[in-house]
Chains A and B, each alone.
Chain A
Amino acid sequence: MSLTMEEQAKQVSVGSVNKVPMVKYTNVMKSFGDLEVLHGIDLEMQAGEKIALIGPSGSGKTTIGRMLMTLEEPTSGTIEVEGEHLWHVEKKGRLVRASEAHLHQMRTKIGMVFQHFNLFPHMKVLGNVTEAPRKVLGLSKEEANDRAIEMLRKVGLADKLDVYPAKLSGGQKQRVAIARALVMRPKVMVFDEVTSALDPELVGEVLAVIKEIAEEGEMAMMLITHEMDFAREVADRVIFGAEGHIVEQGPPEQIFENPQSERLQSFLKRIR
């Protein structure tokens, strides 16, 4: 297949568009009342990149993830998703707070899995996974069912379609929640300590599912976690935050084998 110069130029520019980071936080601050919990976060994620966010509890990891999911609004600073402002739109060269319609459109690229699953207790497993594809994406019942069943198979729960969440174990609930988020096909997904609420013997099955999803590769993942082995295995890059700052980041080997900052060294010592 031969391409004209023009087409080649187009391809190059498409290629360079792909270099726009999937997610970019610029000097993001967040306060709750008088309490400033994030003091100017700069953070980038590339398309398909898996980052692990580690750090002591209370350091602001969840808040970072929730701001991306538009559950928490930054006090100042900007977040961009694929080069487009998440919380703002440009008007006459100035950034102004975006409308709900803009947020709605941006959220099509973002998904999240919560520590406490937040499954819909009044819907069966299949309903939990099909509700958003049907009512938000407007898929037909059959299309939504097909997509949902495919996802539930992926998380190993295709035999639980007709069961209410209350009847599932914590690990199963979390896997349904993962399927429910995946079915919307986000480009970036936040996993906020998704195994912290689980009995220890159920952690493995959930981490295995996430690992499998990570290996598929296309989706960028922000893994907020206390599971250091998991972070090391899955993440392309590990980010250590403490007290509302990003203290250190790098490839997993560097972060875990050769931590530079004293804070990270003492953190790693404490959790081992």
Chain B
Amino acid sequence: MWDWDYALSILPRLLGALKVTLYATFWGFLLASVFGLLLAVLGRSRVKAIRMAVFGFVEFIRSTPLLVQLFFLFYSIPLLFGFSMTAFMTGVIGLGLHYSTYMSEVYRSGIDGVEKGQWEAARALNFSKARTWTSVVLPQALPPILPIMGNYLIVMFKETPLLAAITVVELLTTAKNINSMDWRPFEPYTIIGLLFLVISLLVSLLVGIMEKHLGKRHTR
């Protein structure tokens, strides 16, 4: 059933597609991290309208499936706004926005873990708002949540096959294409399964090491 020669022959194509998957994961995660932080910070704004807007956005994104969001971005944005993006860019933005709402929650937990006295000391020393975030709050809020962020990286990586639905030629699409050409489903799907497995395990190994390292850091 399993043909090694055939498997090796399709491997280069699959590895090429893996690159697309990894790029999408990387850029999506970067966007989710940056935008999630923005949501977390704005979610603590003194202005109620801003807080409400953030809350509304987060709830809306979380209450609709990522797949629907991807379709919406891909097919409706060009109709509504008259410009279109590449499928890859659409996918990155969809992944990034979707996961930013989860990341903002992760950031929030980290920020809530910073003692009230730290904010007060910053104010007593006359730090500006921005300086309080960058000098005092985030350096304490981020390290404890890095492992959780790492886990979201894995989750997001495993969600990238959804991009197949909007014509991004990533791993799944490539496996499908190979199958429809050669009528051999076994090798391509097995290989991409293994690729997902190996990379996920690798990242979670790194997260574990990071977690151990963080545990040893100086504490209060």
> Which A residues contact B (CB, under 8 angstroms)?
69-71, 100, 104, 107-108, 110-112, 114, 116-122, 131-132, 135-136, 164-167, 180-181, 184
Kindly list chain B residues whose C-beta atoms are within 8 Å of the C-beta of A121.
140, 218-220
CB atoms of B219 and A71 under 8 A apart: no
- How many residues of chain B have a CB within 8 Å of chain A? 20
CB atoms of A69 and B124 under 8 A apart: yes
CB atoms of A111 and B131 under 8 A apart: no
> 1/0 per residue B119-148: CB within 8 Å of A?
011011111110100011001100000000
Kindly list chain B residues whose C-beta atoms are within 8 Å of the C-beta of A122.
139-140, 218
CB atoms of A180 and B220 under 8 A apart: no
CB atoms of A181 and B131 under 8 A apart: no
CB atoms of B118 and A132 under 8 A apart: no
Kindly list chain B residues whose C-beta atoms are within 8 Å of the C-beta of A100.
129
A197 CB → nearest B CB, Å = 11
CB atoms of B126 and A184 under 8 A apart: yes
Kindly list chain A residues whose C-beta atoms are within 8 Å of the C-beta of B115.
118
Interface residues of B: mostly helix, strand, loop or mixed?
helix
Complex: A70 Cα to B115 Cα, angstroms: 18
Complex: A150 Cα to B120 Cα, angstroms: 25
A193 CB → nearest B CB, Å = 13
With A118-B120, A166-B220 already in contact, the answer to whether A132 and B139 are too (CB < 8 A) is: no
CB atoms of A166 and B126 under 8 A apart: no
Kindly list chain A residues whose C-beta atoms are within 8 Å of the C-beta of B120.
69, 71, 114, 118
Complex: A164 Cα to B217 Cα, angstroms: 11
Assess whether B65 is interfacial by the CB under 8 Å rule. Answer: no
Known: A122-B140, A180-B125. 7 other contacts (CB 8 A): A69-B124, A71-B124, A104-B128, A112-B124, A114-B124, A181-B124, A184-B126
Checking B129, B135, B218 against A135 with a beta-carbon cut-off of 8 angstroms, the contacting residue is: B135
Assess whether B117 is interfacial by the CB under 8 Å rule. Answer: yes
Kindly list chain A residues whose C-beta atoms are within 8 Å of the C-beta of B220.
121, 165-166
Interface centre among A71, A122, A164, A184 (most CB of B within 10 A): A122
Kindly list chain A residues whose C-beta atoms are within 8 Å of the C-beta of B124.
69, 71, 107, 110-112, 114, 181
CB atoms of A114 and B131 under 8 A apart: no
Complex: A165 Cα to B121 Cα, angstroms: 15
For this complex, 24 residue pairs linking A to B, each with C-beta atoms less than 8 Å apart, are A69-B124, A71-B123, A71-B124, A100-B129, A104-B128, A107-B124, A108-B126, A114-B121, A116-B117, A117-B117, A118-B115, A118-B120, A119-B121, A120-B118, A120-B135, A120-B136, A120-B140, A121-B218, A122-B139, A136-B127, A136-B131, A165-B220, A166-B218, A184-B125
Kindly list chain A residues whose C-beta atoms are within 8 Å of the C-beta of B131.
135-136
With A121-B140, A122-B140, A166-B220 already in contact, the answer to whether A136 and B123 are too (CB < 8 A) is: no
CB atoms of A70 and B123 under 8 A apart: yes
CB atoms of B218 and A132 under 8 A apart: no
Complex: A136 Cα to B120 Cα, angstroms: 15
Complex: A255 Cα to B160 Cα, angstroms: 74
CB atoms of A118 and B121 under 8 A apart: yes
Closest to B143 in A: A122
